[in-house]
Structure 1
Amino acid sequence: MPIPLRMTVFWAVFRHVDRMPVMQQPPERIRAASDARRRLLRLPTASLVIGRRHGGTDVVDREIPAADGTPLPVRIYRPRDSAGRRLPVVVNFHGGGWVSGDIRQSEWWCSTVAALAGVAVVSVDYRLAPEHPFPGPPEDCYDTTLWVSEHADELEVDAERLAVMGDSAGGNLAAVVSMMARDRERPPVAAQVLVYPSVDLVDALPSESENANRPILTGKDVANTPDVYFHGTPADRGDPYASPLRGKHENLPPALIQTAEFDPLRDHGSVYAEALRAAGVSVRLTNYVDAVHGYLSLPGLMPVARQAVAEAAEFLREQLRP
Structure 2
Amino acid sequence: MARINRRLLVWGWITRRQVSVATMSDPEIIAVQSRKFPVNAVTRWLLGAAPSGVEATDRSVPGADGQIPVRVYRPAGASRASGDGAGRPLVVYFHGGGFVFGSLPMGDWICGTVAEQVGAVVVSVDYRLAPAHRFPAAVEDCYAALAWAAGSQAELGAAGPIGVMGESAGGCLSAVMCLLARERGGPAIAHQALIYPVTDMTADRSAGKQDLPFLSAAEMDAYKRHYLGPDGDAANPWASPLLAADHAGLPPALIQVAEHDPLRSDGLRYAAALRAAGVPVRFTEYVGVPHGFVNFPGLSSAAHQAMNEVVAAQREALTPVTEGDRR
Q: Is TM > 0.5 for Structure 1 vs Structure 2?
A: yes
| SS in structure 1 at match of 2:89 | strand
How is 1:213-224 mapped onto 2 (pairs within 5 angstroms)? 213-224=211-222
Deviation at 1:30, TM superposition (A): 1.8
Aligned equivalent of 2:121: 120
Q: Distance in 2 between matches of 1:199 and 1:58?
A: 33
In the alignment, structure 1 residue 204 sits paired with structure 2 residue 200? no
Using the TM superposition, name which of 187-196 and 7-16 deviates more. Answer: 7-16
Aligned equivalent of 2:302: 304
Aligned equivalent of 1:151: 152
Q: Distance in 1 between matches of 2:236 and 2:14?
A: 38
Using the TM superposition, name which of 100-109 and 41-50 deviates more. Answer: 41-50
Structure 1 residues without counterparts, runs of 5 or longer: none
Structure 2 residues without counterparts, runs of 5 or longer: 321-327
Q: Distance in 1 between matches of 2:112 and 2:269?
A: 29
Q: Which amino acid aligns with 1:178?
A: C
Using the TM superposition, name which of 57-66 and 174-183 deviates more. Answer: 57-66
Q: 1:245 aligns with which of 228, 242, 247?
A: 242
Q: Is the 8 A contact 2:211 2:217 kept in 1?
A: yes
Deviation at 1:256, TM superposition (A): 0.4
Aligned equivalent of 2:61: 64
CA deviations 1:3-43 (Å, max 9, x no partner) are: 12222232333333x2x31354233332124446x65x545
Q: Which amino acid aligns with 1:305?
A: A
Q: Distance in 1 between matches of 2:280 and 2:240?
A: 20
| SS in structure 2 at match of 1:312 | helix
| SS in structure 2 at match of 1:80 | coil
- Paired residues in the alignment total 313
In the alignment, structure 1 residue 264 sits paired with structure 2 residue 262? yes
CA deviations 1:260-296 (Å, max 9, x no partner) are: 0011111100000000000110100100012111111
Q: Is the 8 A contact 1:211 1:263 kept in 2?
A: no
Q: Distance in 2 between matches of 1:281 and 1:49?
A: 35
CA deviations 1:144-181 (Å, max 9, x no partner) are: 000011111111112x5001111000000000011000
How is 1:84-95 mapped onto 2 (pairs within 5 angstroms)? 84=81, 85-86=84-85, 87-95=88-96
Aligned equivalent of 2:184: 184
Q: Is the 8 A contact 2:172 2:241 kept in 1?
A: yes
Q: Distance in 2 between matches of 1:94 and 1:115?
A: 19
Q: Which amino acid aligns with 1:21?
A: S
Distance 1:73 1:315, change over 3 A: same
| SS in structure 2 at match of 1:157 | coil
Deviation at 1:44, TM superposition (A): 4.1
**TM, length-normalised to structure 1:** 0.92
Q: Which amino acid aligns with 2:20?
A: P
**TM, length-normalised to structure 2:** 0.91
Aligned equivalent of 1:236: 233
Q: 1:46 aligns with which of 43, 46, 70?
A: 43
In the alignment, structure 1 residue 278 sits paired with structure 2 residue 276? yes
Q: Which amino acid aligns with 1:168?
A: S
| SS in structure 2 at match of 1:188 | coil
Distance 1:79 1:264, change over 3 A: same
Aligned equivalent of 1:78: 74
Q: Is the 8 A contact 1:164 1:193 kept in 2?
A: yes
Q: Distance in 1 between matches of 2:73 and 2:218?
A: 35
Q: Distance in 2 between matches of 1:222 and 1:11?
A: 15
| SS in structure 1 at match of 2:149 | helix
Q: Distance in 2 between matches of 1:12 and 1:249?
A: 38
| SS in structure 1 at match of 2:234 | coil
CA deviations 1:231-270 (Å, max 9, x no partner) are: 25x3321011110000021110000000000111111000
CA deviations 1:71-118 (Å, max 9, x no partner) are: 111111111012142110100000011111111111111101111111
Q: Distance in 2 between matches of 1:46 and 1:280?
A: 41
Q: Which amino acid aligns with 1:204?
A: D
Q: Which amino acid aligns with 2:228?
A: F
Q: Which amino acid aligns with 2:286?
A: Y
| SS in structure 2 at match of 1:210 | coil
Aligned equivalent of 2:140: 139
| SS in structure 1 at match of 2:247 | coil
CA deviations 1:178-201 (Å, max 9, x no partner) are: 100000001111110100000011
CA deviations 1:112-138 (Å, max 9, x no partner) are: 111111111100100111111111101
Aligned equivalent of 1:288: 286
Aligned equivalent of 1:21: 20
Q: Which amino acid aligns with 1:259?
A: V
